[in-house]
Amino acid sequence: MVLKEAGASLEWTELADREPGNGEIRVQVAACGVCRTDLHVMDGELPDPHFPIIPGHEIVGRIDAMGAGVEGLRIGERVGIPWLAHTCGACPYCRGHRENLCDRPEFTGYTRDGGFATATIADARFAFPLGEFGSDVELAPLLCAGLIGWRSLVSAGDGSHLGLYGFGAAAHIVAQVAMWQGRSVSAFTRPGDAATQAFARGLGATWVGGSDQMPPEPLDAAIIFAAVGDLVPLALQAVRKGGRVVCAGIHMSDIPSFPYRLLWEERQLVSVANLTRQDGIDFLRLAPQIGIVTHTTRYPLAQANQALADLRAGRFAGAAVLVP
């Protein structure tokens, strides 16, 4: 499913099989999750877009070909391919254990073709072995919603009362991790979105409400997954003194001006960008212990545009996954 220009729909396109180059693997895609970032790619909201591009960066599949120099992987092995597709290894960020901020990165489904396809090529060093535990469809959302959610949760600190703004694919995973860690979760949805509020309550959220509401007790930290800048002052208002607000999305509408008193008293406002391979190793090791259950809605690959439209409109709970 190819995106030829910003603002267009994806087009079903027959392409010749590609051969993996040095250090690359070819993966037959079994499932690929649909992420809000795919909408930002399609809408042309990210800088330096590459067209034509095959979106999709929550890929689960099996290796069917390997180029020279691939180590530690084998033909037939199940792997996950995340958003971070390649880093330079030489810039100050790569050398300082912050490869998520690499100066010359590549991203799956944005600068390199991704997983809305029957097969894809990846840099072997950035693929995660997934083992055989769990189904392809259930695992796919872990590759971005899970990984970026995990990085956001770590960034939020270890406060016991966490607020999640935007209760979609990432939040429904992060909520399970946070509760497994013994924290309580408050879920903030679009005002009046009773279906999503019921979904969050069903997962164990101790309080649910609209994003325009204040929680009964101040939060220790909040994570904003929705791409809505208006949520930033609301979340700052909801956290206690010294609390932290983490913006987890790659793109957000403008943040409105707000009074300094909302930031005062050492509240912190930070963002989380991309992931490091270590984030993936840490999270994918933990996920089976936690027993994360991802709530998924399957779409055939050819219905990718419908899946994206449903994501935009908030028509399903949890995560959408494309199956070739």
Q: How far is the CB of 295 from Zn ion (least distance, A)?
A: 17
Min. distance of Cβ 78 from Zn ion in angstroms?
20
The distance of closest approach from Cβ of residue 93 to Zn ion in the complex, given in angstroms and rounded to an integer, is 5
Kindly state the smallest distance separating residue 186's Cβ from Zn ion, in Å.
23
Q: How far is the CB of 91 from Zn ion (least distance, A)?
A: 3
Which amino acid, 131?
G
Q: Are 218 and 240 in contact (CB under 8 A)?
A: yes
Phi, psi of 112 (to 5 degrees): -130, 150
3-class SS of residue 33: strand
Which residue's CB is nearer to Zn ion, number 23 or number 209?
Answer: 23
Strand partners, 322: 32, 299
Q: Of the two residues 32 and 238, which places its CB atom closer to Zn ion in the complex?
A: 32
- What SS3 state is found at 298? strand
DSSP string, 198-223: HHHHHTT-SEEEETTSPPSS-EEEEE
Q: Tell me how far, at minimum, the Cβ of 37 lies from Zn ion, in Å.
A: 4
Closest approach, Cβ 280 to Zn ion, in A, equals 13
Question: Does 273 sit near Zn ion (CB under 5 A)?
Answer: no
What DSSP character marks residue 318? Answer: S
The number of residues that bind Zn ion (CB under 5 A) is 8
Q: Beta-carbon neighbour count of residue 162 at 10 Å?
A: 27
Cβ atoms of residues 244 and 238 within 8 Å: no
Rounded to whole angstroms, how far apart are CA atoms 284 and 278?
10
Buried/exposed 236-265: b ≥16 CB within 10 Å, e otherwise: bbbbeeebbbbbbbbebeeeeeeeeebeee
Residues comprising the chain, all counted = 324
Instruction: Please say which residue, 27 or 311, places its beta carbon nearer to Zn ion.
Output: 311
Q: Determine, following the binding rule CB under 5 A, whether residue 250 of this chain makes contact with Zn ion.
A: no
The residue among 83 and 207 lying less far from Zn ion, judged by its C-beta, is 83
Q: Supply the minimum distance, in Å, between the C-beta of residue 201 and Zn ion.
A: 25
**Cα separation of 321 and 301, whole Å?**
9
Asked if 320 is part of the footprint of Zn ion (rule: CB under 5 A), the reply reads: no
- Is 26 in contact with 121 (CB distance < 8 Å)? yes
Interface mask (CB under 5 A) for Zn ion, residues 57-96, using x and -?
A: ------------------------------xx--x--x--
Containing H/E element for 171? helix 169-180
Name which of 33 and 233 has its Cβ closer to Zn ion: 33
Binding mask 160-179 for Zn ion (x = CB under 5 A): --------------------
Task: Report the residue number, 37 or 276, with the smaller CB distance to Zn ion.
Answer: 37
Q: Which is nearer to Zn ion, 37 or 189 (CB)?
A: 37
Task: Compose the 117-156 pattern: x for residues touching Zn ion by CB under 5 A, - for all others.
Answer: ---------------------------x------------
Nearer to Zn ion, 66 or 304 (CB): 304
CB neighbours of residue 46 within 10 Å: 17
Give residues 9-68 in contact with Zn ion (rule: CB under 5 A).
Answer: 35, 37
In the complex, the residues that contact Zn ion under the rule CB under 5 A are: 35, 37, 87-88, 91, 94, 102, 144
